[in-house]
């Protein structure tokens, strides 16, 4: 019998169905490889390039599925969320494509470029203070006023199912992968990825990767008890959130291991990929690359897929520049 904390997690069939629903609305992103990267890694790496996804991040998959899955009744007053990152743009564009309003709460100190991107997709923006409490309270007010449906960035089965579609495409292109690596923030991507692999390719191991300074998923996984994130002081700005009960359960059931890397390792791996592959990847997805480069995951003579989560970064402040000064 399930214990009281257990919540029902999405099935492989649900991830498959989600993929079929959204496949015409999302880009089928390319899988890239590089001889120089493989020489360094000592194995064959396959990059699933969600930095080329719409809005520049995999988040558009989950948002498209979650927004598309609402009943007309639930959808008619629009959708709402709070985010200063990729999820905000993803929900804004998914809502625009469905033809319903999007209400996005953003902290007043959010970068102007991100605010403009959300506005360009036609969303209504409400500013809050930058604390978590203020963001949640402001979102609550917006929902009260508009009747919009809240789209949580990861504590939502429909989001998890949508995120899993990236791994389905990756495994369709490269069915022989020994390992798939993805970063862990709130856990939506790694959950969807692991569920997808469990059904599509059960022999493929799925490994989560996390910054050492924001290692809540690592601690939760190792101890079997959910730990909230203690510090958000990582360059990997997409990974500063804690697991939810739902994503923790997905991880416990389907993820094979979680490893951590240092900030220096993240920045160095990110720069290496920019220089050798000529693609712009955000710090969050340099985390699994760093794990491979620094021996945290052994890929010798193996084939490993890595979900490149996105490419949204402030080009005026690159981490190796901040880092060196």
Helix or strand (DSSP H, E) at 118: helix 112-120
| 107 binding a second copy? (CB under 8 A) | no
Of the candidate spans 130-138, 180-188, 194-202, 311-319, the one that interacts with a second copy by CB under 8 A turns out to be 311-319
Q: Return d(Cα 289, Cα 41) in angstroms, integer.
A: 9
Sites for a second copy among residues 258-297 (CB under 8 A):
271, 274-275, 277-281
Residue among 147, 175, 321, 322 that touches a second copy (CB under 8 A): 321
Least separation, in Å, of the C-beta of 93 and a second copy? 11
The residues with which 128 forms a beta bridge, in sequence order, are 107
Q: Return d(Cα 84, Cα 128) in angstroms, integer.
A: 11
Least separation, in Å, of the C-beta of 287 and a second copy? 18
| 89 binding a second copy? (CB under 8 A) | no
Residue among 294, 303, 318, 323 that touches a second copy (CB under 8 A): 318
Least separation, in Å, of the C-beta of 196 and a second copy? 23
Q: Which of 207, 322, 195, 192 is nearest to 267 (CA)?
A: 322
Sites for a second copy among residues 138-167 (CB under 8 A):
none
Cβ proximity of 199 and 60 under 8 Å: no
Nearer to a second copy, 10 or 319 (CB): 319
Least separation, in Å, of the C-beta of 324 and a second copy? 8
Q: Return d(Cα 165, Cα 157) in angstroms, integer.
A: 13
Sites for a second copy among residues 30-49 (CB under 8 A):
30, 32
Cβ proximity of 95 and 200 under 8 Å: no
Q: Return d(Cα 292, Cα 261) in angstroms, integer.
A: 10
Q: Edge-to-edge strand order for the sheet containing 44-49?
A: 31-32, 44-49, 303-308, 179-183, 205-211, 257-261
| 316 binding a second copy? (CB under 8 A) | yes
Kindly list the residues in this chain that would bind a second copy in the complex (CB under 8 A).
Answer: 30, 32, 51-52, 56, 271, 274-275, 277-281, 311, 315-316, 318, 320-321, 324
């Amino acid at each position: 019998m399930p214990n009281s904390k257990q919540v029902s997690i999405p099935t492989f069939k649900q991830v498959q169905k989600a993929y079929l629903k959204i496949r015409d609305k999302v880009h089928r992103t390319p899988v890239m490889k590089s001889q120089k990267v493989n020489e360094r890694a000592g194995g064959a790496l396959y990059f699933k390039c969600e930095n080329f996804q719409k809005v520049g991040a995999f988040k558009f998959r989950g948002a498209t599925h979650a927004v598309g899955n609402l009943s007309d009744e639930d959808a008619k007053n629009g959708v709402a969320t709070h985010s200063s990152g990729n999820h905000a743009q993803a929900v804004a564009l998914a809502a625009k494509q469905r033809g319903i309003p999007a209400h996005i709460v953003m902290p007043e100190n959010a970068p102007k470029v991100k605010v403009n991107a959300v506005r360009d997709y036609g969303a209504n923006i409400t500013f809050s203070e930058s604390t978590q409490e203020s963001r949640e309270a402001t979102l609550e007010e917006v929902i009260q006023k508009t009747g919009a449906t809240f789209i949580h960035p990861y504590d939502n089965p429909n989001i998890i199912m949508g995120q899993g579609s990236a791994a389905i495409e990756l495994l369709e292109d490269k069915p022989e992968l020994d390992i798939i690596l993805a970063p862990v923030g709130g856990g939506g991507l790694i959950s969807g990825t692991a569920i997808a692999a469990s059904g599509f390719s059960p022999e493929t191991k799925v490994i989560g990767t996390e910054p050492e300074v924001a290692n809540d998923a690592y601690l939760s996984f190792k101890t079997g008890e959910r730990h909230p994130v203690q510090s958000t002081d990582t360059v990997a700005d997409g990974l500063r959130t804690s697991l939810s009960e739902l994503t923790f359960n997905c991880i416990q059931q389907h993820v094979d291991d979680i490893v951590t890397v240092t900030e220096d390792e993240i920045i160095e791996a990110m720069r290496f990929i920019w220089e050798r592959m000529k693609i712009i990847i955000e710090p969050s997805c340099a985390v699994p690359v760093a794990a491979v480069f620094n021996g945290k995951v052994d890929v010798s003579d193996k084939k490993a897929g890595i979900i490149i989560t996105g490419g949204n970064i402030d080009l005026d402040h690159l981490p190796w520049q901040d880092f060196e000064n």
